[in-house]
Structure 1
Amino acid sequence: MKRTITRTALVTLVLLTATVFTSYAQTYYNLYLCDDATAKLRPQQESTLVSGDKVHWFLDGNPVTGTPITYTGTSGSTDLTVPANLVVGLHKYTTAIESKDGCLGPQSDAFEVYKLPTKTLALSTPTNLSYCGEASGSAASSKITATSTPASPLPNGIAYTYTWSATVNGTAVTPITSIGSSDGDTDDTNVFTLTTITAGTYVFTAKVDYALTAANTGVLKAGTGCSVSSTTSQSITVNPRPGKPSIMLVN
């Protein structure tokens, strides 16, 4: 009886563990397209085709307009272009080969393409609009938060890359790390902290790009509008600290 209870408990533990790991499993896709990016797909077996064979292409289970494509004997002659105007979300491409004799083979496994949504980037008001150079504590710095907002939820495996830029009194700051640092976050917010003690008016802008997480083995193709800049800039003034005074006798 005791052995039966032990076995039952062990089985239950295994099932619970499997459920936990399954709940944390991430789903990634073969290709991610952003903005006006396109891609070309090709059957891996194209080199085995003979002239006159045909390649059928399907998108989400439906035949793609303009297919099947007849193989001409030239590499790439059966390529299919994935267009930039896909609806945001997941799409599945499959293909099948028809011999020149009219025999149609089975469809391939799906090649999954995810069309990413557009996004915007906004900068918060600085935590300190101005501070005194060489001050101390929280009064010796100012933070600006960049917030990315996608037009629809993002799939697993997609993160952000933020790039900060600044000018001081109209001159570009290079490198940006000479006046402060970003917190390095790759989620929907990223914070830059200005810590410089050099007096001047600092004007900040930022841009954001999509990126794949380290675990995502897919491919990301970004179009010309995938990199988005902040809609407005933010300014912080660093005021000079008066020098050390001395005392003189006047009468």
Structure 2
Amino acid sequence: MNTKKNLLKISAMVGLLFAFTKLANAQSPNIYVCDEGTVTLGYVNNEYALEVGDKVIWVKWDEATGTSLGGSIEKTYNGSDSDVNFEIDGSSLTTNGEHHYRMYVIAVDPNSCGSDLSDPVEVYKLPNLNLALSATISAYCEALDDNPETSQPTQSEITATTTPDEALPAGILLEYAWSAEEAVGGPADIALLGTSTDNSTTATELTNTFTMTTTTVGVYEFSATVKYAALAADGTTKIKGGCETSVPEEGKQTVEVTAKPGVPSITVS
């Protein structure tokens, strides 16, 4: 059995094991998580295969002081890589921002030799999201008129604005979805009512706009949701847990499409 101290690396995954290498002077976390997400840290080392009885010790690490924050978690290898995985539930992280972890191995035989500490992995806890709607106007006419004496709008813009509990790191992507109901008739086909801004794949967008252009007379109540995308803007860093947030019931926006009066006639007497 090889008892030399080995440099270990940590991988992060949910369901499957994904390797993340912490590069020197890296600016971004290895993975993001929100309250609903789970991150799994796992063991990988091409130079040392775990043997039954080996112990993998997980420690939360203070990068500023270079010391453990205490409360290590011990996992014993019984023949499966999943035996030594360490799961982090997003809701268990009581503060938003950076959380660092390292690990090491204590060999079962012959002398309980311990490895060096692994490189650290950074898990970044994202804040809760809050969503509100606002509309440019609450009613518009079903059609344009040809009367130079009047001017009337024929569309309304409803804007969804996201307010995180704390500022988001650069590159965190958000995904918006819209829905609407008619006052008479129930759920409406949102695609027939207008169009919304495309979700950004390159930058954090704290607003999204739905432009309502339907000419079907009626009263429509709009709602929206926002959640974290599965990947950050770099296309590789994972975000665990969408943490979808809806507009509060009292925050939904109502817009009415009103009927255009018919062309009047003049009587002469």
TM range (shorter): 0.7 to 0.9
Taking structure 2 as the reference length, the TM-score comes to 0.74
Return 82-91 or 231-240, whichever deviates more: 82-91
User: CA offset at residue 105 of structure 1?
Assistant: 1.2
For 1:172, the aligned partner's letter is P
1:74 is matched with which residue? 80
1:184 is matched with which residue? 198
User: CA offset at residue 138 of structure 1?
Assistant: 7.3
CA RMSD after TM alignment: 2.6
Q: Extract unaligned runs of 5+ from structure 1.
A: 1-24
User: CA offset at residue 60 of structure 1?
Assistant: 1.9
Equivalent of residue 172 in structure 1, options 187, 198, 207: 187
User: CA offset at residue 92 of structure 1?
Assistant: 1.4
Equivalent of residue 94 in structure 1, options 84, 98, 102: 102
User: CA offset at residue 63 of structure 1?
Assistant: 6.2
2:12 is matched with which residue? none
Give 1:74-153 correspondences, 5 Å limit. 74-84=80-90, 85-86=92-93, 87-100=95-108, 101-124=111-134, 126-135=135-144, 139-153=153-167
Aligned equivalents of 2:152 and 2:130: distance in 1? 30
User: CA offset at residue 210 of structure 1?
Assistant: 1.1
Q: How many residues in Structure 1 have an aligned counterpart in Structure 2?
A: 222
Give 1:1-251 correspondences, 5 Å limit. 27-45=27-45, 48-61=49-62, 62=68, 65=71, 67-84=73-90, 85-86=92-93, 87-100=95-108, 101-124=111-134, 126-135=135-144, 139-170=153-184, 171-174=186-189, 176-184=190-198, 186=200, 187-211=205-229, 212-222=231-241, 226-231=243-248, 232-245=251-264
Aligned equivalents of 2:261 and 2:152: distance in 1? 19
Aligned equivalents of 1:132 and 1:203: distance in 2? 17
Q: Percent identity?
A: 37
Please tell me whether the aligned partners of residues 29 and 112 of structure 1 are also in contact (alpha carbons under 8 angstroms).
yes
Q: Extract unaligned runs of 5+ from structure 2.
A: 1-24, 63-67, 146-150
User: CA offset at residue 37 of structure 1?
Assistant: 2.0
Return 133-142 or 190-199, whichever deviates more: 133-142
Aligned equivalents of 1:121 and 1:220: distance in 2? 19
The 1:229–1:63 alpha-carbon spacing in structure 2 relative to 1, beyond 3 Å, is same
- SS in structure 2 opposite 1:209? strand
Which whole-Å deviations, capped at 9, do the CAs of 1:142-173 have from their partners, x for residues lacking one? 11111100011111221211111111234211
The 1:116–1:90 alpha-carbon spacing in structure 2 relative to 1, beyond 3 Å, is same
User: CA offset at residue 216 of structure 1?
Assistant: 3.8
Please tell me whether the aligned partners of residues 104 and 118 of structure 2 are also in contact (alpha carbons under 8 angstroms).
yes
Aligned equivalents of 2:60 and 2:97: distance in 1? 13
Aligned equivalents of 1:229 and 1:67: distance in 2? 36
Which whole-Å deviations, capped at 9, do the CAs of 1:38-95 have from their partners, x for residues lacking one? 2221101398111121111111242663533222223311111113311211111111
Please tell me whether the aligned partners of residues 57 and 72 of structure 2 are also in contact (alpha carbons under 8 angstroms).
no
User: CA offset at residue 242 of structure 1?
Assistant: 2.3
Taking structure 1 as the reference length, the TM-score comes to 0.79
The 1:178–1:121 alpha-carbon spacing in structure 2 relative to 1, beyond 3 Å, is same
Aligned equivalents of 1:50 and 1:63: distance in 2? 28
Please tell me whether the aligned partners of residues 57 and 73 of structure 2 are also in contact (alpha carbons under 8 angstroms).
yes
- SS in structure 2 opposite 1:158? coil
